């Protein structure tokens, strides 16, 4: 449920785009490097991820693919705060 909520926040963002729709608790997004640094400085936790073989999404020079992981401990408030940061 939190992964879907996180994916919706990313879809609504003007600074990020989903790499593909989540099917479990992991969400992958393409984000500008400078924006990702701001998000991490504000406390968001996520990881750089290598572009998988056959990935057909566009990633420009100033963007990277990032991996987000939700769990049973992820709260709606945490996801909503991230949504506010990335809006």
Cα 59 from Cα 84, distance rounded (Å): 23
What is the reported pTM?
Answer: 0.91
pLDDT at 72: 96
Name residue 69's beta-bridge partners.
26
Please name which of 56, 12, 62 lies closest in space to residue 35, comparing C-alpha atoms: 62
Q: What is the CATH number of the domain that holds 28?
A: 3.90.1150.10
User: How far from the centroid of its chain's Cα atoms is residue 38's Cα?
Assistant: 13
Helices (H), the chain: 2-12, 33-41, 76-86
Query: pLDDT tens for residues 38-57?
Result: 999 999 999 999 988 888 77
- As for how many domains the chain has, the answer is 1
pLDDT at 22: 95
Mean pLDDT by 10 residues, the chain (87 residues): 97 95 96 97 96 85 96 97 95
Strands 63-69 and 26-32: antiparallel
Owning domain of residue 73:
2-86
């Amino acid at each position: 449920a939190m992964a879907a909520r996180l994916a919706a926040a990313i879809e609504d963002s003007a600074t990020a785009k989903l790499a593909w729709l989540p099917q479990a608790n992991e969400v992958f997004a393409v984000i500008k490097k400078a924006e990702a640094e701001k998000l991490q400085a504000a406390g968001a936790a996520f990881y750089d991820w290598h572009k998988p073989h056959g990935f057909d999404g566009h990633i420009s020079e100033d963007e990277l693919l990032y991996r987000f992981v939700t769990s049973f401990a992820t709260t709606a408030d945490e996801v909503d705060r991230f949504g506010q940061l990335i809006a």
